Amino acid sequence: MRSLVLEYIDEVYHDVLGDREGSVADYIPQLAEADPESFGIALATADGYVYEVGDSRRGFTLQSISKPFTYALALADRGVEAVGAKVGVEPSGEPFNEISLDPAGGQPRNPMINAGAIACASLVRGDTAADRFERIRRFYSQFAGRELSSNEDVYESEHRTGHRNRAIAHLLRAVGVIEEDPEISLEVYFRQCAVEVDCRDLSLMAAGLAAGGVHPASGERLLSPVLTERVLSVMTTCGMYDAAGDWAAQVGLAAKSGVSGGIIAVLPGQIGLAVYSPRLDRYGTSTRGALTCRRLSQELGLHFMHVGRAARSAIRASYDLTGNPSHREHSAAHLDVLRRHGSRAMVYELHGDLLFAATETVIREATARAGELELMIVDTRAVGEVADVSRRLLLGLRDQVLEHGCEVVLVGSGASFDAPQAESVVEHYLIMSDMDTAIAYCEDMLIARHSAE
Ligand code: GLN
Nearest by Cα to 34 from 369, 390, 276, 306: 276
pLDDT tens digits, 125-163 = 998 999 999 999 999 999 999 999 999 999 999 999 999
Task: Mean pLDDT check: name the lowest of 167-176, 322-331, 410-419.
Answer: 410-419
CA 259 / ligand 1 centre spacing (Å): 6
Q: What are phi and psi of 37, to 5 degrees?
A: -80, -15
Cα angle vertex 207, ends 203, 213, to 5°? 135
Looking at residue 422, what is its pLDDT?
41
Indicate the top mutation candidate among 24, 31, 61, 63 to test ligand 1's pocket, ranked by most ligand atoms within 8 A of CB.
Answer: 63
Indicate the top mutation candidate among 26, 27, 28 to test ligand 1's pocket, ranked by most ligand atoms within 8 A of CB.
Answer: 28
Nearest by Cα to 192 from 295, 76, 46, 74: 74
Please tell me the distance from the alpha carbon of residue 342 to that of residue 129, in angstroms, as a whole number. Answer: 72
Strands 50-54, 40-45: pairing is: antiparallel
CA 271 / ligand 1 centre spacing (Å): 25
Catalytically annotated residues: 64, 67, 189, 241, 259
pLDDT tens digits, 284-324 = 999 999 999 999 998 888 888 876 555 567 889 999 999 88
Q: Up-side HSE of residue 27: CA atoms within 13 Å toward CB?
A: 9
Pick the more confident residue, 364 or 189. 189
Looking at residue 416, what is its pLDDT?
55
31 burial type by CB count under 10 A (0-12 exposed, 13-18 middle, 19+ buried): buried
pLDDT tens digits, 192-239 = 999 999 999 999 999 999 999 999 988 999 999 999 999 999 999 999
Nearest by Cα to 30 from 161, 150, 165, 149: 161
Looking at residue 420, what is its pLDDT?
39
pLDDT class for 424, splitting at 50, 70, 90? Answer: very low
For residue 78, the tally of other CB atoms under 10 A from its CB is: 17
What proportion of the chain, given as a percentage, has pLDDT over 70?
A: 94
Task: Mean pLDDT check: name the lowest of 3-7, 254-258, 412-416.
Answer: 412-416
Q: What is the mean pLDDT of residues 81-95?
A: 93
DSSP state letter for 106: -
For residue 259, which atom of ligand 1 is closest to its CA? 8
Looking at residue 419, what is its pLDDT?
38
**Residue type at 21 in one-letter notation:** E
Please tell me the distance from the alpha carbon of residue 244 to that of residue 110, in angstroms, as a whole number. Answer: 13
Q: What is the mean pLDDT of residues 343-349?
A: 95
Are the C-beta atoms of residues 48 and 110 closer than 8 Å to each other? no
Q: Which residues of 37-68 are buried (b: 16+ CB within 10 A; e: fewer)?
A: ebbbbbbbbbebebbbbbbbeeebbbbbbbbb
pTM for this entry: 0.81
The answer to whether the peptide bond before residue 278 is cis (omega within 30 degrees of 0) is no
